[in-house]
Structure 1
Amino acid sequence: MSKQRLQSIKHWLKENEAAFGFIQGKANLFYLTGLRSEPHERLIALFVFQEKEPFLVCPNMEKALVKQAGWDYPVIGYSDHENPWELISKYMSSFTLDGQNLAIEKEGLSVARFEQLQKLAPSLSFLNCEQALMELRLIKSAEEISILREAAQLADLGVEVGVHALQSGKTEMEVLALIEYELKKKGIAEMSFGTLVLSGEQSANPHGKPKMKVIEEGDFVLFDLGVVLDGYCSDITRTVVFGQPTEEQENIYSTVLNAQLETLSICQKGTILGDLDRKARSVITAAGYGDFFPHRIGHGLGAEVHELPSLNELNNDRLKVGMTFTIEPGIYIPNVGGVRIEDDVLITDTGFECLTKYPKELQIIKR
């Protein structure tokens, strides 16, 4: 799989007259090499060329992980007292480079590393390869879909654990800890992002910060979580009411649910992505809550929890078979609370499949 992906990038380099590509983004490295690692300040990078074989640069302490990942091309390892750029320069000193550009990921490249690349190839101009890499990752293979489906099942489990943990007197952080503990018992070492358990007024912040706040009678409780499984991410949101809901809470919830269901109903190959956002927004606006839906309807999902496609109202691209993304309408009212319902969605030949399957009907939890 990695060799096919590398071949695609080699072809792109040739088409764009790029002598080589320098890839360091965590998800892109994983996609092209099979290695998913957190290097901190240390350099882990892939150098890929039009014709020559690629090589990886990594700390010596990571070389065993590189081998385990299945990488069978050259590796330049270095110790903490060594300057990896000197080793790279020496390794490439005999290379004749075909091309006028050097392909980089502009979004995530530090100035320090940019300057090192300038020294390495002073005659080359810089070209952004980020879009090409994201587009390469856009359509998922059968193997990727299988992993994403399993990751979604574990996200379902996380919500189930969280809902079952709700009890009078418990705090958001206590419930959060139970969710992650149970997932770790299933072998999950990494969450897709910081798990959210937000209650009451806290739930009105789409990306609020869980606290030692006691979950109280009448609170909305919003769960937003996902796991990383074999390098792929899941992402689910469910909202319940702890205690008896008010009429307003029920109305907010039913509006969000209707917006999600109506949006899912038009998820099929050929649909314009912007239409998904417009569909959800029209339902929420018609119910009088348009000012309280502040984000796009969803985002792509794969080796990163946020990747292409971006499901915003201005995106005129069309859905294709094999795309995976979220559909997540929400309403957030200050001093009242918020509701978001989010599923992971796969476009199929016949329509769509929800990979996350935890129930969406309003749950009223009384304990």
Structure 2
Amino acid sequence: MNQRLQNLSIWLKENDISFAFITSTPNVFYLSNFYSDPHERLLALIAFPDKEPILVCPQMEVLQAKQAGWDYHIIGYSDIDNPWELVSKYINNQKVHVSKIAVEKSHLTMERYEQIHTYFPDTSFLNVEEKLRELRMIKDEKEIAILRQAAELADFGVETGVKALAEGKTELEIIAAIEFELKKKGVREMSFATMVLTGEKTAAPHGVPGLAPIKKGDFVLFDLGVVLDGYCSDITRTVAFGEANGQQKEIYETVLKAQIAAIHACKPGIEIGQIDKAARTVIEQAGYGEYFTHRVGHGLGIDVHEYPSMNSTNTMPLQQGMVFTIEPGIYVPAIGGVRIEDDVFITKDGVEILTKYPKELQII
């Protein structure tokens, strides 16, 4: 049994839990190395405190699960089978006394809860998500190696986008150029919908790219990431096209100083909230505090947004092995916005920046 499953089984035993019923694709992948998007079908990993785990998946994916390295029992079911009945039969045959089940409360639908309750009626439910977040938050050497490679591809994506800039080209044209070149490098999936915004649209932190043409004097904001071997990268860079006026330069330099201040604050033992405050203080002192409208970053791994949350109220200390983004921004309506985002890894002594595309203001 791999160390991740062992850690979960130990937690189940310590808390006298009958079994954990894990159904989200990211957590199943984390525990099994099997990545599946089953759509409406049931995907589940069932872990016990003192028995071998089992996997539940559509019959057509059983071979893929085995190829991913799953060596334990698999309940493969067809589209005319009732997988809940098969699960119940297996657990009863194992003579498991079911009194407490750990589930992902934010992922389990009411319909699936009712199915579990039908087959295991005298049962209480606990939330396993906090334990899984705790386990996933600290990356091992293999995960860090993948995240480094994913960050390199994100750097390449921004480089490609910057090279593709030309007056009159649209945001979607630039996105197409970025994703085409990444596909040629073997990237099948982006971490999220690639964002290229230009002009006043850069003032929307989560703006929607469209057919807006790039014009001289515009900020152009790139926000993108790739999925590599199940792990995500996430980078943001902002450039000026053709020219930049005094206020644009001031906004950019303020964000850059804020981002550098936050990175310098990163070291094991420092409270997460201090990282947000380091960036926010720079922006507030420059008079743009009201235009920094989000937390300074988020955890990064199998999900593009995972724990820890890098907000100002988080008192959790940074730990070696954490990977997260640092991405302060200033967004001024009718003028535009700037965000600079890197993926960082907490080392024994400080921080390693995984994304390396230049951050100094570029006028393209």
TM-score by length of 2: 0.98
Give, in angstroms, the shift of residue 237 of structure 1. 0.3
In the alignment, residue 27 of structure 2 is paired with which amino acid?
N
- State the alpha-carbon separation in 2 of the partners of residues 36 and 215 from structure 1: 39
Aligned positions of 1:174-213 closer than 5 A? 174-213=173-212
- State the alpha-carbon separation in 2 of the partners of residues 64 and 247 from structure 1: 60
Give, in angstroms, the shift of residue 37 of structure 1. 1.6
- State the alpha-carbon separation in 1 of the partners of residues 240 and 97 from structure 2: 62
Equivalence for 2:256: 257
- State the alpha-carbon separation in 2 of the partners of residues 152 and 200 from structure 1: 26
In the alignment, residue 46 of structure 1 is paired with which amino acid?
L
Equivalence for 2:151: 152
Aligned pairs, number: 364
Equivalence for 2:274: 275
- Matched position secondary structure for 1:37: coil
Structure 1 unaligned runs (5+)? Answer: none
- State the alpha-carbon separation in 2 of the partners of residues 50 and 347 from structure 1: 32
Kept in 1, the 8 Å contact 2:57–2:76? The answer is yes
Q: Within the alignment, does 1:286 sit opposite 2:285 as a pair?
A: yes
Deviations 1:144-181 (A, max 9, x none): 11100000000000000000000111100000011111
- State the alpha-carbon separation in 2 of the partners of residues 93 and 309 from structure 1: 38
- State the alpha-carbon separation in 2 of the partners of residues 93 and 147 from structure 1: 40
Deviations 1:239-292 (A, max 9, x none): 001111111100000000000001111111111100011111110011111000
Equivalence for 2:341: 342
Kept in 2, the 8 Å contact 1:18–1:98? The answer is no
- Matched position secondary structure for 1:51: coil
- State the alpha-carbon separation in 2 of the partners of residues 91 and 349 from structure 1: 45
Counting aligned pairs with the same residue, the percent is 59
Equivalence for 1:124: 123
Equivalence for 1:43: 42
Deviations 1:213-239 (A, max 9, x none): 111111111100001111111000000
Kept in 2, the 8 Å contact 1:330–1:341? The answer is yes
Runs of 4+ in 1 over 6 A off after TM superposition: none
Give, in angstroms, the shift of residue 99 of structure 1. 6.2
Give, in angstroms, the shift of residue 93 of structure 1. 2.4
Kept in 2, the 8 Å contact 1:50–1:98? The answer is no
In the alignment, residue 129 of structure 2 is paired with which amino acid?
E
- State the alpha-carbon separation in 1 of the partners of residues 290 and 141 from structure 2: 40
Give, in angstroms, the shift of residue 86 of structure 1. 1.8
Structure 2 unaligned runs (5+)? Answer: none
Kept in 2, the 8 Å contact 1:190–1:227? The answer is yes
Equivalence for 1:32: 31
Deviations 1:70-111 (A, max 9, x none): 001011111112221122122222233356310000011111
Aligned positions of 1:40-79 closer than 5 A? 40-79=39-78
- State the alpha-carbon separation in 1 of the partners of residues 17 and 123 from structure 2: 9
- Matched position secondary structure for 1:202: helix
- State the alpha-carbon separation in 2 of the partners of residues 86 and 116 from structure 1: 9
- Matched position secondary structure for 1:71: coil
In the alignment, residue 100 of structure 1 is paired with which amino acid?
S
Task: Indicate the RMSD between aligned Cα atoms, in angstroms.
Answer: 1.0
- State the alpha-carbon separation in 2 of the partners of residues 243 and 64 from structure 1: 54
- State the alpha-carbon separation in 2 of the partners of residues 299 and 226 from structure 1: 14
Q: Within the alignment, does 1:353 sit opposite 2:352 as a pair?
A: yes
In the alignment, residue 61 of structure 1 is paired with which amino acid?
M
Kept in 1, the 8 Å contact 2:300–2:307? The answer is yes
- State the alpha-carbon separation in 2 of the partners of residues 99 and 8 from structure 1: 21
- State the alpha-carbon separation in 1 of the partners of residues 329 and 34 from structure 2: 35
Aligned positions of 1:257-336 closer than 5 A? 257-336=256-335
Deviations 1:326-347 (A, max 9, x none): 0000001111111000000011
- State the alpha-carbon separation in 1 of the partners of residues 69 and 294 from structure 2: 39
Kept in 1, the 8 Å contact 2:98–2:120? The answer is no
TM-score by length of 1: 0.97
- State the alpha-carbon separation in 2 of the partners of residues 354 and 284 from structure 1: 22
Equivalence for 2:4: 5
- State the alpha-carbon separation in 2 of the partners of residues 338 and 142 from structure 1: 36
Kept in 1, the 8 Å contact 2:18–2:101? The answer is yes
- State the alpha-carbon separation in 2 of the partners of residues 206 and 61 from structure 1: 41
In the alignment, residue 123 of structure 2 is paired with which amino acid?
L
Kept in 2, the 8 Å contact 1:273–1:319? The answer is yes
